[in-house]
Structure 1
Amino acid sequence: MIGKGKSISHTSASMAYGWNQEKSAIVVLKEYLAGNTPEELTREFHIIQDMNENCKKNTLSFVLSPTIEDGKKLKKKNLGDIAKKFLARMNLNNRQAVAFVHKDKAHTHIHLYVNRIDFKGKAYPDGFIGKRSIEAARQVALEMNLKTAQEIQVEKLNSLKQIRREIHNLSEHVLRKNSPKTLDDYIKKMKLRGIDVIPSINKSNKLQGFRFKYKNISLKGSEIHRSMSGGKITNAIAGNGHILQNGSKTTLISNKVVELGANFIANTKQQSNQQITNKGLSI
């Protein structure tokens, strides 16, 4: 479960968002509040907030997000328990609070709004509230046997590691076995293996590198492997054919003339010269 928190001044708008029926919102927790509409809840908050005129950001807003798998298993009572335990971990007991659950997407999540002003007119300290929210959510997740943010992060990293390995292996296979002679040829052959190669072209119409989209994951070539930078891939393809147009600094990608950066040109010219030398030696 991931926790986020901050102090806000727009109490009314937040209440309206939390109550949004288009998001299939349901109330799972209500502390020291009697209202049944966003307007009524806001008025009740304001009655207490008027006791402290110095505090402008007088409402605390939290979002608690279990994993998709955990969210499917959690009932209304469980979601209310998460909000209540989170309040206890944040030392926010005995304050006005309301928690809404949104299920408009596959990812069930809780919007929790708490009056920053207590019944004595004292404002809750919001220093490092984001970090404290993360830790409180982690503790609640452990207590309720839910996945923590750290576990989610490890899973994502492991998944990305596998994705990067697969993209790199498929690219190496295409470059070595299929011997593409142009960038277009390389892009088409990668497409046949389920990988979209997207050229990164800046406003000056210069090719900067490539992004690779595979299994709904998009990564820059340099994020996948050091051999998959734009210059390295162009260099490898130049070993199979002449990708520069008539010795110029341009090449064709999807019938569009694109200028190559200095690092691309140095690599491709060096590779082309080596190719010519090798053919001469062979003859």
Structure 2
Amino acid sequence: MIGKIIIGKSFRGCINYVLENKLRGDLELPTQKRAELIHYNQCFGDHKELIKQFNEVRALNPKLAKPVMHVILSLSPGEKPENATLIAIAEDCSRALGFEKNQYIAVTHNDTNHMHLHMVVNRIGFDGKTLIDSNNYKKMAAYCRQMEEKYKLRQVLSPKTFLPKNSHTIPRLDSRKESMKTDIRISLLQAKSYPDFESLMRSKRYELIKGRGIAFRDSKKMYVKGSDLGYSLATIEKILQQTHALKQLTIRQQIQKEYGLRKEPKISQSNAAIEMIQSNPSKHDSILEILLRPEKDNDYTPHQLMQKRRSLSQH
């Protein structure tokens, strides 16, 4: 479950939005009922009566310019809890964010492939005081994780910013980022130059954004900096700047030494490594650590490799 909070000015606009039924495409015909008001708290009636009641309480604190809190809870595709569960989720939200004594309504939307629960909340209480909403985004992230566990909903990762400090370094599975890292690694194995690498990544439906650094955007518009994946622009350029002959020699020696890979006349070492990655994911990181090892900062080249480089250049 993903939670979002919007602070606004107009109860009329927000209540009308969450309760309206949209038109279907160009047919100008109403959709199946997309909005269902499932819960009231400290209020009741149709949309006009609700707007009036919310504004009456708003008048208790006329100096507050933005008295509207709009909470949006998005469930994963295919999840459609019963109304009783959704009401319980809404009540839990009111307690988590501290507005259980304020006016609010809960409305479900069913016009997309994943259900949304909308809550319109009056930030002004009946005592005229404004709801204390500091750290609401952090509270929302914690609340969503609790609801996923309590009601057996699909789990979503919280932003690291909202995790406890002692959890910041815990590895967190993100299959799309892992897939992106794998595609970058395999493209680097196959590429002979940066344009070649860029072309290979585009063939895998990635957009590359290059400036002082590099970032990647996948087919679902997920944007990730290269440095967050361990592949900054500097790292990529260092890998691609290695001479082809020396790189192949190093790969051949290291793979034969560490993995006992036999020479096959019809399969290049880089292709063999790619096949090993795809067929045996457990060796993925170890093989790629060899293949994509960046150059050392001091650019020191071992004496033996320098001799082999000279020998290659003479033939």
Q: Report the TM-score, using the length of structure 2 for normalisation.
A: 0.59
How far apart, in 1, do the equivalents of 2:128 and 2:225 lie? 52
Deviation at 1:112, TM superposition (A): 0.6
Match of 1:166 in 2: 182
Percent identical residues: 22
The alignment status of 1:62 with 2:71, answered yes or no, reads yes
* Number of residue pairs matched by the alignment: 235
**Is residue 8–residue 58 contact of structure 1 (8 Å, CA) maintained in 2?**
yes
Match of 2:150 in 1: 143
Deviation at 1:136, TM superposition (A): 3.3
Report the secondary structure of 1:40's partner residue. helix
**Is residue 125–residue 131 contact of structure 2 (8 Å, CA) maintained in 1?**
yes
Match of 1:18 in 2: 18
How far apart, in 2, do the equivalents of 1:227 and 1:57 lie? 42
Letter paired with 1:281: S
Report the secondary structure of 2:174's partner residue. helix
Deviation at 1:185, TM superposition (A): 4.2
The alignment status of 1:232 with 2:241, answered yes or no, reads no
- Cα deviation, 1:127-170, whole Å, max 9, x if unaligned, reads 32332333334333333233454479899743145314421342
Match of 1:53 in 2: 62
Match of 1:28 in 2: 38
Report the secondary structure of 1:21's partner residue. coil
Deviation at 1:13, TM superposition (A): 1.8
How far apart, in 2, do the equivalents of 1:59 and 1:216 lie? 31
Report the secondary structure of 1:26's partner residue. strand
User: CA distance change for structure 1 residues 188 and 81 in 2, over 3 Å: closer, same or farther?
Assistant: same
How far apart, in 1, do the equivalents of 2:69 and 2:122 lie? 6
The alignment status of 1:108 with 2:140, answered yes or no, reads no
Report the secondary structure of 1:113's partner residue. strand
**Is residue 43–residue 103 contact of structure 2 (8 Å, CA) maintained in 1?**
yes
The CA RMSD over aligned residues, in Å, is: 3.8
Report the secondary structure of 2:22's partner residue. helix
How far apart, in 1, do the equivalents of 2:61 and 2:109 lie? 31
Q: Please show how residues 242-261 of structure 1 align to structure 2 within 5 Å.
A: none
Report the secondary structure of 1:22's partner residue. coil
1:76 to 83, 105, 123: 83
Q: Report the TM-score, using the length of structure 1 for normalisation.
A: 0.64
How far apart, in 2, do the equivalents of 1:196 and 1:95 lie? 48
**Is residue 41–residue 102 contact of structure 2 (8 Å, CA) maintained in 1?**
yes
Deviation at 1:83, TM superposition (A): 0.9
Richer in strand (by share): 1
**Is residue 212–residue 221 contact of structure 1 (8 Å, CA) maintained in 2?**
no
How far apart, in 2, do the equivalents of 1:113 and 1:17 lie? 10
